[in-house]
C-alpha cells in the first residue's frame, strides 16, 4: 500500500512538474508571435494581461501586444488605461495604429481635434495612398471631425473629397447625407436638397436623407414635400445608421421624427 501511495506521489509530482514547465514555456520561451496570438485569443482575462506583461518586458519594441492589450480596456470604457497602451503602440508603429487611435477619438471620445491630428499625421505619412483608418475613408472621417467642430464649410469639402476618393457609386451614402447637412447649416437649401436626393439615388431607404429633406423643405416653406419626406423617413427608420456600442454623429431617433411631426402640424394652421 505504501509503495502504491509513493508511486501516486511520484506520478503527481511528475505531472505537476511537466505542467509547470509547459506553462513556463508558454509564458516565457515560446515564439513571441505564438504567445501574442494566444494572449489575444483570451483577451480580457488575467492570464492574457500577464502574457502581455511578459511580452512587453522581453520585447519592449514589439508594438502588437501594446495595441492588442489596449482593446479590452477601451471596450470596457477604461480609456485612461487603454490609451496608455495604445499610445505606446502608436509611438512604435505609427503607420499601423494611428488610424485606429483616431477612430477611437472620433467615435468614442468625440475629441475631434485630437482625432484630426491623428488622421492628418497618418495622411502625411502616406502621400500616395488614400487611407482608410479602421475601414473608413479618411476624408469621410475628417469630414465628421469638422462637422462635430461646427466647421461645416471644411467638413463639406472633405465629404465631397470622400466621394471623389471612392467614386459616387461606391462611396458611403452618408457622405451625401453629410453634404446635405452641411449645406443646410450653411443655409444653402437648394444644394442641401440636391445632396439628400443624390444619396437617395444610391439607397432609397436612407432615412437620414429623408429626414434631412423634411427639415430642408420645411425651412423653405414647402410643407407638403416636408410631410411626404417625413412619412418616408418614418417608414425607413428601421434602416437608420446606428451602432450598438456608440451613438452616430448624425443619428436620428423616433423622438426627432415626432418633434418634426408636431412642428409640421403647427405650420398647417
**Which residues, listed in sequence order, are joined to residue 246 by a DSSP beta bridge?**
243
Predicted pLDDT of residue 53: 74
Predicted pLDDT of residue 165: 95
The tens place of each residue's pLDDT in the chain, 269 residues long, gives 565 565 565 555 555 454 444 444 454 445 555 666 666 556 666 666 777 777 776 767 778 888 888 888 898 889 999 999 999 999 999 999 999 999 999 999 999 999 999 999 999 999 999 999 989 999 999 999 999 999 999 999 999 999 999 998 899 999 999 999 999 999 999 999 999 999 999 999 999 999 999 999 999 999 999 999 999 999 999 999 988 878 899 999 999 999 999 999 887 65
94: left (phi over 0), alpha (psi -120 to 50) or beta: alpha
Closest CA to 36 of 75, 79, 66: 66
Predicted pLDDT of residue 21: 41
Show Cβ contacts of residue 45 under 8 Å, excluding neighbours closer than 6 positions.
none
Q: From CA 80, how far away is CA 246, in angstroms rounded?
A: 18
How many CA within 13 A on the CB side of residue 53? 6
pTM of the model: 0.84
Terminal-residue alpha carbon distance, the chain: 101
Is 221 strand, coil or helix?
coil
Is 245 strand, coil or helix?
coil
Cell of 21: 514547465
Location of C-alpha cell 511580452 = 55
222: left (phi over 0), alpha (psi -120 to 50) or beta: beta
Predicted pLDDT of residue 156: 98
User: In degrees rounded to 5, what are phi and psi of residue 162?
Assistant: -60, -40
* Domains of the chain by start residue, with CATH: 172-269 (1.25.40.10)
**Which residues, listed in sequence order, are joined to residue 243 by a DSSP beta bridge?**
246
Q: From CA 110, how far away is CA 92, in angstroms rounded?
A: 25
Amino acid at each position: 500500500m505504501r509503495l502504491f501511495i509513493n508511486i501516486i506521489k511520484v506520478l503527481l509530482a511528475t505531472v505537476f512538474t511537466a505542467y509547470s514547465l509547459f506553462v513556463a514555456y508558454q509564458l516565457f520561451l515560446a515564439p513571441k508571435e505564438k504567445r501574442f496570438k494566444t494572449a489575444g485569443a483570451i483577451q480580457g482575462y488575467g492570464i492574457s494581461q500577464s502574457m502581455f506583461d511578459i511580452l512587453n518586458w522581453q520585447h519592449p519594441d514589439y508594438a502588437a501586444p501594446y495595441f492588442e492589450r489596449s482593446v479590452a480596456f477601451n471596450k470596457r470604457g477604461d480609456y485612461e488605461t487603454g490609451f496608455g497602451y495604445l499610445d505606446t503602440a502608436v509611438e512604435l508603429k505609427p503607420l499601423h495604429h494611428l488610424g485606429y487611435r483616431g477612430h477611437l477619438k472620433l467615435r468614442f471620445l468625440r475629441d475631434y481635434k485630437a482625432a484630426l491630428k491623428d488622421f492628418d499625421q497618418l495622411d502625411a505619412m502616406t502621400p500616395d495612398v488614400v487611407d482608410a483608418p479602421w475601414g473608413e475613408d479618411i476624408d469621410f472621417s475628417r469630414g465628421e471631425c469638422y462637422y462635430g467642430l461646427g466647421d461645416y464649410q471644411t467638413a463639406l469639402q472633405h465629404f465631397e473629397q470622400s466621394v471623389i476618393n471612392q467614386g459616387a457609386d461606391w462611396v458611403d451614402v452618408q457622405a451625401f447625407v453629410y453634404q446635405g447637412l452641411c449645406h443646410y447649416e450653411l443655409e444653402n437649401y437648394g444644394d442641401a436638397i440636391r445632396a439628400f436626393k443624390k444619396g437617395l439615388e444610391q439607397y432609397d431607404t436612407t432615412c437620414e436623407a429623408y429626414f434631412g429633406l423634411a427639415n430642408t423643405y420645411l425651412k423653405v416653406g414647402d410643407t407638403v414635400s416636408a410631410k411626404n419626406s417625413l412619412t418616408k423617413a418614418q417608414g425607413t427608420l428601421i434602416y437608420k445608421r446606428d451602432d450598438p456600442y456608440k451613438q452616430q454623429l448624425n443619428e436620428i431617433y423616433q423622438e426627432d421624427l415626432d418633434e418634426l411631426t408636431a412642428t409640421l402640424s403647427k405650420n398647417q394652421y
